[in-house]
Amino acid sequence: MDLWNATSNFENVCNLLNDPTKRMHEIAITLFSPCRPMLGDKAKPNNIQNLMGGSEFYIETKYDGERFQLHKSLNKYSYFSRNSNDYTESFGSSNSNGIYTQYIHDCFLDDVNSVILDGEMCVYSNDDKILLTKSDSYDVKSMDRRTFETDVQVCFCVFDILLYNDEVLTNKPLKERLEYLNKTFEEREGHLIISPRQTCKTNQEAIDALNKAIDARLGKI
């Protein structure tokens, strides 16, 4: 059941469960096969410190876009939504097609052969130089080339990495995964960015970060 919940692929369940030496995190993460993302829980900013038991924690912006995974192996790409729907045809299976891949292919460092990135696919305004929200009436999943090349464009805001050069990373703590993420690609404004984050320990730091995100029209934390 755990594997089914992670992959939504009954064929994978049948094929992979015949090896009892494989761990769950290794089985569930496979290139070009979507896995269900880890989702957050709602919490009030004035209760964060208590929930974290006084330990240090990360704060980052929750962008108002669509949760997506980017799978890459050399020049082959796939894009999957939160519900495991395949949008590769739209975004581009290589750097020679689609509305997006051609703009970020050369951002990846030369020693990166395979990778799975987790993040938020957003709409970026070329005029205002900001990420738009759903209230701006743009749907990143249905953008066409004509719209993409004029007023707005697709921007992938990456906040996690699940696989790096065939090594599954989901059993590693977030701090270690971020080290892999920082050596995966070079950011490109309006196209491919790493979601900014900060370390905090108090409720007030969480509240201040929330207010800053609201003022910057970034959504929520």
Residue range 49-99, pLDDT digits in tens: 888 888 899 988 888 899 999 999 999 999 999 999 999 999 999 999 999
* One-letter amino acid for residue 127 of the chain: D
Q: Where in the chain is the domain with CATH 3.30.470.30?
A: 38-215
Rounded average pLDDT per 10-residue block, the chain, 221 residues:
72 73 62 83 82 88 92 97 94 95 97 97 91 85 69 94 94 93 96 93 89 73 47
pLDDT at 123: 93
pLDDT of the residue at 92: 96
**pLDDT for position 35:** 84
Model pLDDT, residue 221: 47
42, 44, 62, 72: the catalytic one is 62
Predicted confidence at residue 209, as pLDDT, reads 86
62 catalytic residue (yes or no): yes
pTM above 0.85, yes or no: no
Could you please state the CATH topology (level 3) that the domain comprising 38-215 is classified under: D-amino Acid Aminotransferase; Chain A, domain 1 (3.30.470)
